[in-house]
Structure 1
Amino acid sequence: MTPLQQLCQRNLELLQRLDIAHRLVEHEPVLDYSTAHAVRQRFGLRGVESKSLFLRFGAERYAMLVTLEGARADWTRLKALLGSRPRIASDEELIEHTGCVPMCACPFGHDTRITLLIDRAVLACDFLLYSPGPPELTLEVPGGELPRLLAALPNAQLEYP
């Protein structure tokens, strides 16, 4: 099983273990928001697309910023939260540390050494749409269930902004 398949399995098992209602759809690879919008319309998916930025900060430390489509990173706030200036990790770092495909970073299910930066706006959405890893899959998860999902993750979490 590839790291990407393992990531997907971890995400699906977490939702099942927590008994969180979700919808999984299979489609063409989604590597940009225009394709994501077309998939959302075709399958009648509800909710807002997630945006996950894999960041590197300090000496070989990593964080995943979990926010919503269209959100812009506030680099000053990120530096204050993380204690040092972050930068977007390279594609190679993303693949090595998460197994994700560039342009399709999964927000959850990663190694415990990866800190999660959770945008409060994510918790306010009715439904969150995100890839569990493979760009050919999209999950629709009720926003009201996200606090339970986050509480079950072993990663350190910081509220953003």
Structure 2
Amino acid sequence: MCQRNVDLLQRLGIAHRLVEHEPVLDYPSAHAVRQRFGLRGVESKSLFLRIGAQRYAMLITLEGARADWAKLKALLGSRPRIASDEELTEHTGCVPMCACPFGHDASITLLIDRAVLACDFLLYSPGPPELTLEVPGDELQRLLAALPNTLLEYP
């Protein structure tokens, strides 16, 4: 997952910063890492959702945001639920509490919160909880356009 993200950013010529640190599985740890390394931007929040029997989506929003389940249902056609830790690992390769927003199989729909597209820099884990990527917000549209996933704007 990490290599897919880095390769995509390099292929698109998107400036980014990759930082290695202790495992980060919560926002207080992420804030400490951000301060120690001088990372700019807002922490992402990615929720892996199950829709029906075998459909999945990744909601990509920002730290502190809450999911609006009625709006998600309207966008996806049925009410989603948060996928299990096992489903997250099986379908994305991510570990629980550290879901990567980008680089997934084309069958996974991406729901992009408009607030993500408005941030100056987005911080996210590219898979391993020991790594953080810093990506300029003004490059996110270009990054999203290069992905094979169905994209839906949320909310």
Give ranges in structure 1 of 5+ residues lacking alignment.
1-6
Equivalent-residue separation in structure 1 for 2:5 and 2:28 (angstroms): 24
Is it true that 1:41 corresponds to 2:35 in the alignment?
yes
2:154 to 118, 141, 160: 160
The one-letter code of the counterpart of 1:99 is G
2:138 to 144, 149, 155: 144
Give ranges in structure 2 of 5+ residues lacking alignment.
none
Is it true that 1:107 corresponds to 2:101 in the alignment?
yes
**Cα deviation code 1:43-95 (max 9, x no counterpart):** 00000000000000122100000000000000000000000010000000000
Q: Which residue of structure 2 aligns with residue 24 of structure 1?
A: 18
The one-letter code of the counterpart of 1:156 is T
Equivalent-residue separation in structure 2 for 1:133 and 1:19 (angstroms): 21
Identical residues among aligned pairs (%): 88
Q: Secondary structure at the match of 1:129?
A: strand
Is it true that 1:96 corresponds to 2:101 in the alignment?
no
Q: Tell me the number of residue pairs that the alignment of Structure 1 and Structure 2 aligns.
A: 155
Is it true that 1:84 corresponds to 2:78 in the alignment?
yes
Is it true that 1:127 corresponds to 2:121 in the alignment?
yes
Equivalent-residue separation in structure 2 for 1:155 and 1:51 (angstroms): 18
Alpha-carbon RMSD = 0.4
Q: Which residue of structure 2 aligns with residue 60 of structure 1?
A: 54
Q: Which residue of structure 2 aligns with residue 3 of structure 1?
A: none
Q: Secondary structure at the match of 2:148?
A: coil
Equivalent-residue separation in structure 1 for 2:135 and 2:125 (angstroms): 11
Moved over 2 A (4+): none
